[in-house]
């Protein structure tokens, strides 16, 4: 399964219908490759029924390591309205409160201060950086980490998750074991 990084998702800013086609292919690929030991949950961010972005969470060997990675994307006209923060808070609620994650990782690239602000607002702290190549250009990716205790102190009120218990085995978990 391909790792989803913001610096590798330039197609999200391509014109229609190419952007939509790539998003569908990403979603179908995530579903086709889903296994309890390696999964990528692709969620639509919708406002009044209109898709404005995506929020994803992925993991390998989650049942053992209890670590997730998160990424998101919001259409430019909808950025700056809190939708990204709310979407990330929702997926963190799923990860920590319902799946029993002990830590979550995310990243942002130099210049993406909006992503950095969302992460810091939710309690993430810096966890290193690395250089990547994108289209022949050096791009610095800043890694961030959020542990369960810090998340509990930054938990966003009003966020609920329904139906997670029915899906536990898809995440490599058993219904009869504690998850939070």
The answer to whether the beta carbons of residues 34 and 70 sit under 8 Å apart is no
Question: What number of residues does the chain have?
Answer: 180
Contact 147, 113 (CB under 8 A): no
pLDDT of residue 4: 40
| Mean pLDDT per 10-residue section of the chain, whose length is 180 residues | 44 74 85 95 92 93 97 87 94 97 96 92 97 90 97 95 95 80
Torsion of CA 28, 34, 40, 44, to 10 degrees: 40
Angle at 32 between CA 26 and CA 35, to 5 degrees: 115
User: What is the reported pLDDT for 146?
Assistant: 98
- Does a cis peptide bond (omega within 30 degrees of 0) precede residue 17? yes
**Measured between alpha carbons, how far is 115 from 27 in angstroms, rounded to an integer?**
22
Alpha helices in 43-134 (DSSP H): 62-65, 83-93, 113-121
pLDDT, residue 80, reads 87
pLDDT of residue 180: 61
CA 132 to CA 137: how far, in whole Å?
A: 8
Q: Which domains does the chain have, with CATH numbers?
A: 6-171 (3.40.630.30)
pLDDT at 22: 81
Q: Which residues contact 113 (CB under 8 A, 6 or more apart)?
A: none
DSSP lists the bridge partners of residue 55 as 43, 72
């Amino acid at each position: 399964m391909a790792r989803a990084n913001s610096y590798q998702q330039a197609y999200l800013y391509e014109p229609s219908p190419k952007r939509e086609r790539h998003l569908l292919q990403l979603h179908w690929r995530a579903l086709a490759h889903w296994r309890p030991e390696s999964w990528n949950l692709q969620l639509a961010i919708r406002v009044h029924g209109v898709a404005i972005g995506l929020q994803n969470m992925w993991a390998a060997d989650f049942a053992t390591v209890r670590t997730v990675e998160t990424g998101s994307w919001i259409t430019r006209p909808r950025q700056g309205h809190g939708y990204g923060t709310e979407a990330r808070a929702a997926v963190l609620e799923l990860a920590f409160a319902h799946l029993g994650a002990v830590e979550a990782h995310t990243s942002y690239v130099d210049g993406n201060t909006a992503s950095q602000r969302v992460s810091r607002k939710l309690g993430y702290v810096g966890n290193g950086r690395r250089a990547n190549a994108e289209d022949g250009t050096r791009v610095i990716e800043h890694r961030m980490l959020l542990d369960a205790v810090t998340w509990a102190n930054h938990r966003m009120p009003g966020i609920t998750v329904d139906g997670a218990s029915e899906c536990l085995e898809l995440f490599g978990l058993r219904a009869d074991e504690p998850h939070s």
